């Protein structure tokens, strides 16, 4: 039942099969089906209330669907008890919309939390401390160890949230509106960190967002290990050309709980659907 540490490519990390969920009279998810493999990225676009966050929460069993099946690391989670889910969730990193940091503990304790509280942790305190520092170095916030989340800016909180999501090196990371409410420069910094995490650790990513630019960055840029910077991929001017999708990024557009579009970036840009077009800037 434990989540795989380094899943081989094309192994299914997450699968939705006709998942349906209502909140009273409102349809939050309507027969949603998709599959996410190791190393792949799914960018879920949609207006507020379209079911994006519900989809993300359902993926780790925080919300239970009324019908349909959800498979996490190949195991069906829809019928599992909360205590059984804890172990599976330890293989998933989650960045919540506002960071979801615990405001009564320090940044260091927040980042260490997933390692110290997972059902079977074997690391010594020194190892945990080392990994926490590495994770905070990854998001360039080493100096905030002793600070409390309330002392950080919105962008910094989001970066600490990323550090906490990736500290235990999970094979699957879920991001809930990672750039919502941030200025363009901070939003780009956050997305660059997500691209870096994907390319350094080869994680599967499910990114829920309202910003097309977030998906564009995921689809068209790679992290260069030697230079330490992001660089354009084949689909963005390199060899292979447009449509080659070397980053395995698939876009999904949701409306009223339904998936109304699923495809690569060039297909999204070519879509004639009015609703889908609202998420693609005219110059794209």
Residues that bind other proteins (CB under 8 A): 57, 60, 62, 82-83, 86-87, 89-90, 92, 94, 96-98, 100-103, 113-114, 117-119, 164
Is 102 or 153 the residue whose CB approaches other proteins more closely? 102
Is 59 or 252 the residue whose CB approaches other proteins more closely? 59
What's the min distance (Å) between Cβ of 150 and other proteins? 11
Query: Tokens representing 219?
Result: 């689809």
What's the min distance (Å) between Cβ of 99 and other proteins? 8
What's the min distance (Å) between Cβ of 84 and other proteins? 11
Is 42 or 57 the residue whose CB approaches other proteins more closely? 57
- Phi, then psi, of 76 in degrees rounded to 5: -70, 125
What's the min distance (Å) between Cβ of 94 and other proteins? 4
Is 136 or 264 the residue whose CB approaches other proteins more closely? 136
What's the min distance (Å) between Cβ of 39 and other proteins? 22
Is 123 or 199 the residue whose CB approaches other proteins more closely? 123
Is 109 or 262 the residue whose CB approaches other proteins more closely? 109
What's the min distance (Å) between Cβ of 148 and other proteins? 13
What's the min distance (Å) between Cβ of 104 and other proteins? 9
Is 39 or 161 the residue whose CB approaches other proteins more closely? 161
Which of 39, 3, 1, 35 shows the shortest CA–CA distance to 18? 35
- By the 10 Å C-beta count (0-12 exposed, 13-18 middle, 19+ buried), 235 is classed as buried
């Amino acid at each position: 039942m434990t989540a795989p540490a380094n899943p081989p490519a094309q192994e299914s990390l997450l699968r939705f099969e006709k998942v349906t969920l209502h909140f009273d009279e409102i349809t939050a998810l309507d027969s949603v089906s998709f599959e996410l493999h190791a190393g792949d990225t799914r960018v879920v676009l949609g207006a507020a209330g379209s079911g994006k966050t519900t989809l993300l929460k359902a993926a780790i069993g925080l919300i239970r669907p009324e019908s349909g099946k959800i498979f996490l690391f190949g195991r069906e989670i829809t019928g599992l008890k909360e205590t059984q889910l804890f172990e599976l969730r330890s293989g998933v990193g989650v960045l919540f919309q506002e960071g979801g940091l615990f405001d009564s503990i320090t940044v260091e304790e927040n980042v260490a939390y997933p390692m110290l509280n997972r059902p079977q942790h074997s690391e010594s305190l020194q190892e945990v401390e080392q990994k926490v520092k590495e994770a905070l170095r990854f998001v360039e916030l080493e100096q905030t160890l002793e600070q409390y989340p309330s002392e950080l800016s919105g962008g910094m909180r989001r970066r600490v949230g990323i550090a906490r999501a990736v500290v235990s090196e999970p094979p699957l990371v879920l991001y809930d509106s990672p750039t919502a409410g941030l200025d363009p420069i901070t939003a780009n910094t956050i997305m660059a960190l997500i691209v870096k995490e994907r390319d350094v650790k080869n994680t599967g990513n499910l990114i829920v967002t309202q910003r097309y630019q977030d998906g564009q960055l995921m689809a068209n840029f790679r992290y260069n290990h030697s230079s330490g910077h992001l660089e354009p991929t084949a689909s963005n001017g390199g060899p292979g050309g447009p449509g080659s999708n070397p980053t395995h990024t698939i876009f999904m557009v949701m409306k009223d709980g339904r998936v109304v579009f699923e495809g690569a970036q060039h297909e999204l840009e070519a879509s004639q659907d009015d609703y889908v077009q609202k998420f693609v800037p005219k110059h794209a």
